[in-house]
Amino acid sequence: MASAASTSATAAVAAAASRLLLRRAPHLLRRLPRAAPSARPYCSSSSFGAAAAAPLRRPFGHRARMGHTSASASASAAVPALGLTKANAVELPQVAFTGKDIEFSDWKGDILAVAVTEKDLSKGSDSKFENAVLKKLDAQLSGLLSEASAEEDFTGKAGQSVVLRLSGQGFKRVALVGLGQSAPSTAAACRGIGESVASVAKSAQATSVAIVLASPAGIQEGFKLNAAAAIASGTVLGLHEDSRFKAESKKVHLKQVDLIGLGSGSELDQKLKYVNDLSSGVIFGKELVNAPANVLTPAVLAEEASKIASEFSDVFTATILDVEKCQELKMGSYLGVAAASANPPHFIHLCYKPVGGNVKRKLAIVGKGLTFDSGGYNIKTGPGCSIELMKFDMGGSAAVFGAAKALAQIKPPGVEVHFIVAACENMISGTGMRPGDILTASNGKTIEVNNTDAEGRLTLADALVYACNQGVDKIIDLATLTGACVVALGPSIAGIFTPSDELAQEVTAASELSGEKFWRLPMEESYWEQMKSGVADMVNTGGRQGGSITAALFLKQFVDEKVQWMHIDMAGPVWNDKKRAATGFGVSTLVEWVLKNSSSSSS
């Protein structure tokens, strides 16, 4: 990722590489043929997170059985990771969600969680709650709720919660969860309810929870289904903690969540099944980003992607291109970035085709796959360079493969989707590209490298050309591309760039359902003047000003004009600094976008 500081920096490493890197023999092109679907137990809508039949996550590097596995891929899987680090198999959250239309006071279990707004806590002249739900509950508890909320200074602000231990009731605890000033009206707000409830449940080691809104009338009837789904999603994602690289893992105790007053029946069950599949993809994406670069090499990333095709062979095939094949396809831009690393590049292509065929639309999703970015000879140095976090520079590819895993289970009809990642590392050695080198991309355009730390766009260039050659109608690429975008939009919002108003509207609509935040930025063509080279067709970086825009203009040079295309710069929201962990950003929006382009837009 090009940091805001490194975009203008030209510092080079003075020390030469201490050892020569042996060039590995190019390995064979590996293709997984489409096969009959493997027998796989059905994951019902009442189970969450991982499939019920496979509660343990296999460690990264565990090679799935495949039709053809190349010798070098096998060797890569067999070589111990630097530091002898292995990802432990951990149990993923598996929670049964049920919609119930019952009186909350009749519910029996560990925690009754009530989501309240600031207004819900208002009291009348008799010092009793005016809200009907809180008034009834407080009476049932002999005024304990009113007393405790006052003593704990609970005002219903977003993020606040108070938990009371009870005796003589059907539920062991009651929790008040703050919503802020108004009832939730967006997927993001409802997901926040689930996350807060998950936090309360983890602290109490509860096995069962019921969630009720103090003011259910505040949620519009047409939004209730999506609200229930978002609460469920927030709960399971809030429960998930990535402890694969810790000596001890925390056990998830919560097994049952009842959603009271948000509907029930087959329609809700179907929605919860969808959320189940989607959440497994988000968790997979988070785990890919969280995995350190000494464990998640380009070879292991390819291995993980291939497992999706192996497990869901009824709808997926996988093609992994080696160095030799990439040379045949003239991917000089991508291979230039990969040249310095002892870990060889792997160009990954998963293809989803619906059961029964009848494809009406072809899409491609391209993700940046730098499993580690040192910056190259323009090495990342100084405050804010975040070199220690550059394992997340493959966040775009994590979103791509997370979406692939979710869609493999959802199986949308009428749409073909290509998931493409040019995976590699950006390292330093005597074999690596230097500032001033000229690379030739697979569409014949030449690039003068004036900054080796602007490497992501170089890998995406060849990936975008490859995507266009698949005959697709639309392409979305995702990348942790520029620090400039983080400066512009902050840590929570991704920037989107596209010449297509139609595509911008599609992704905006998808993001409203997912709850993820995007903001469209301009593609100012006059800024291309900064990208001109005296000796090649272009340079790979412009000046500091408008850095995310010039990066998008660079990518545009490698997209067919007949193809609708969008670039998403997700450098900000890929990582949560407070939690020191990946967010899984992008997976939900990509899935919603694909569904909107399928024959059935219901989700």
85 Cβ contact list (under 8 Å, min separation 6): 245, 292, 294, 295
Q: Specify whether the CB–CB gap between 414 and 302 falls below 8 A.
A: no
255 is catalytic: no
> Where do the DSSP E strands lie in 354-440?
361-373, 415-426, 438-440
Task: Spot the catalytic one: 380, 391, 405, 474.
Answer: 380
How many Å apart are CA 91 and CA 243, to the nearest integer? 10
Q: Would you call 39 exposed, middle or buried from its count of C-beta atoms within 10 A (0-12, 13-18, 19+)?
A: exposed
For residue 37, how far is the Cα from the chain centroid?
A: 26
3-state secondary structure 82-141: HHHCCCCCCECCCCEEEEECCCHHHCCEEEEEEEECCHHHCECCCCCECCHHHHHHHHHC
Q: Residues in the chain, how many?
A: 603
How many Å apart are CA 280 and CA 286, to the nearest integer? 10
Task: Spot the catalytic one: 405, 457, 474, 556.
Answer: 457
How many Å apart are CA 370 and CA 427, to the nearest integer? 10
> Where do the DSSP E strands lie in 198-321?
208-213, 256-260, 316-321
Tokens of 382: 């100084």
Helix/strand/coil for 538: strand
224 is catalytic: no
Q: Which is it for strands 438-440 and 446-448: parallel, antiparallel or unpaired?
A: antiparallel
Using alpha carbons, select from 188, 287, 304 the residue that is nearest to residue 240. Answer: 287
How distant, in Å, are the alpha carbons of 233, 242, 379 from that of 249?
A: 22, 8, 35
Using alpha carbons, select from 278, 284, 191, 177 the residue that is nearest to residue 512. Answer: 191
Strand order in the sheet with 208-213: 96-100, 256-260, 208-213, 109-116, 171-178, 161-165
- Return the C-alpha torsion angle 425, 429, 431, 433, nearest 10: 70
Active site amino acids:
380, 457
